[in-house]
Amino acid sequence: MKALGIPPLIARNTLLFALAQALSGSAVQLVPTLGAPMVERLLGSASLAGIGFSVIALSRVLMAYPFGKLADTLGRKPGLVLGFGVGVIGAGLLAYSIAASSFLAFLVGMLLFGAGFAANQQIRVAAADMYPSVRRAEGLGFVLTGSVLGAFGGALLVGAADASSGFFRLEPLALSWALLPLVLLPSAALVLMVRPDPKAIASSLGSFYPGYQPASEAEVGATDQASFLTLLRDPRKLAVFVTSGAAQGQMAMLMALNSLMLSHHGYSLTAISAAVTAHVIGMFGLSIPLGRLADRVGHRPLLMAGLGISAAGAVLLPTTTSYVVVTLAIMLVGLGWSCVNVAGTALLADLSTPEERGRTIGANDTLAAIAGAVFPLLGGFVVAYWGFPYLGALGAIMMLAPVYFLAKTSVAYPVAAEAAETR
């Protein structure tokens, strides 16, 4: 059998999702850029600087699995559109929190914005639905690469708010959030243009890819009635869950505190935003080649490589006040996370049927969000009492547990028939 090409309809849907990811990525970037300075402004202390990330993570803990279940029940599009709407409300509250100096409004706004972010993560499920396993990581890479444009969009939003705050008589911290409907509402419109729903595509991939032969459910080890606890009992899924949690927790911790570290070094809000942009480029800029690499050499080797890159970035981050070195380090943290995100998501999609795929990746996001809630708060206390070098050491040590889980998982991973025949 010849290598499976990408049908025109799938290519069109992929482009729509990539554009939606690009626009919504502009919104997500505001959390690491503005979160810590907002908290320090509202509370007058840096000890809780990571709480914005933690609230976002808490919201994902509460909402990632329910949104996944909604996507499994109704399809991928309804949850995505609902998430963008909730994100608009959260952004409005975050703008209000600065204007009114209300820390409570900040917390509620972050909680709602995090719920929208949790829903937006289902875009990965939608991308995975549209591709056979032999090209699934590559398909994910196409959609996730859209976030690179989002990185520049986020910087443009902050820059525009900084430049026009006097005209609108709003502080840049508030105006940046007030501008977010300009990117979130078009994102919802793009998702609505996708036809048919990706879950319907996943249920009949053979209609789009002639000759496609999926892995059997016995190979996948899946059940349409899988519960959260059932998913945790599969050692292959558990290894991915632990790896994703460590990568997400480390990245959230370092990003939550990186803006504060650059601020203490005397760099401007625009410079901090540019560093976050570099980080997001690391997170998504190589998604396509990383996806192709995962499809070719396997998911587990790329997961291991990602852990090593993340550890290197964590060690390098607090070693200097040089803007270039710090930006390179946080870019490496993003690249390591990208390896884990692309390979881990594709692997979980291979290990699940379309009817449970939303819940499987939702469970992964829930556990990753728990790590994302705990470690930014822990990182804030580490910085407050011991300093930034200890933060880097903690970030590197966090990568040891997933290496153990991946190394000890001897159960075979599924290989779909078409993957073996097209390589």
Tens of pLDDT along 287-313?
999 999 999 999 999 999 999 999 999
**Residue 334 to residue 330: CA distance in whole angstroms:** 6
Tokens in use for 142? 């196409």
What pLDDT, on the 0 to 100 scale, is given for residue 60? 86
pTM of the model: 0.84
Reported as a pLDDT band with limits 50, 70 and 90, residue 411 is low
| Residue 214 backbone zone (phi > 0: left; psi -120 to 50: alpha; other: beta) | beta
Residue 220 in this model has a pLDDT that exceeds 70 = no
Residue 221 in this model has a pLDDT that exceeds 90 = no
pLDDT digits (tens, 9 = 90+) for 322-371: 888 989 999 999 999 999 999 999 999 999 989 999 999 999 999 998 89
pLDDT digits (tens, 9 = 90+) for 263-280: 777 777 778 878 877 888
**Mean pLDDT on 375-392:** 84
Reported as a pLDDT band with limits 50, 70 and 90, residue 191 is very high
What pLDDT, on the 0 to 100 scale, is given for residue 380? 79
Amino acid at 274: A
What pLDDT, on the 0 to 100 scale, is given for residue 152? 76
Reported as a pLDDT band with limits 50, 70 and 90, residue 14 is very high
What pLDDT, on the 0 to 100 scale, is given for residue 365? 93
What pLDDT, on the 0 to 100 scale, is given for residue 9? 96
pLDDT digits (tens, 9 = 90+) for 30-56: 887 788 889 988 988 767 777 887 788
Q: Tell me which H or E stretch contains 32.
A: helix 30-43
Reported as a pLDDT band with limits 50, 70 and 90, residue 215 is low
Tokens in use for 207? 């209609």
Reported as a pLDDT band with limits 50, 70 and 90, residue 416 is very low
User: CB of 139 within 8 A of CB of 128?
Assistant: yes
Residue 196, preceding bond cis, omega within 30 degrees? yes
The average confidence (pLDDT) of the chain is: 87
Residue 222 in this model has a pLDDT that exceeds 70 = no
Which homologous superfamily does the CATH classification assign to the domain defined by 8-197+222-410? MFS general substrate transporter like domains (1.20.1250.20)
Q: Is 169 helix (H, G, I), strand (E, B) or coil?
A: coil
Helices (H), 196-234: 198-203, 205-208, 217-220, 228-233
Residue 185 in this model has a pLDDT that exceeds 90 = yes
Q: Is 179 helix (H, G, I), strand (E, B) or coil?
A: coil
Reported as a pLDDT band with limits 50, 70 and 90, residue 225 is low
Q: Which residue has the higher pLDDT, 104 or 217?
A: 104
**Residue 23 to residue 29: CA distance in whole angstroms:** 11
Residue 224 in this model has a pLDDT that exceeds 70 = no
Q: Which residue has the higher pLDDT, 279 or 17?
A: 17
List, in order, residues 6 or more apart from 295 with CB less than 8 Å away.
134, 135, 136, 137, 138, 346, 419
- The ranges assigned to domains in the chain are 8-197+222-410
Residue 279: phi, psi to the nearest 5?
-65, -45
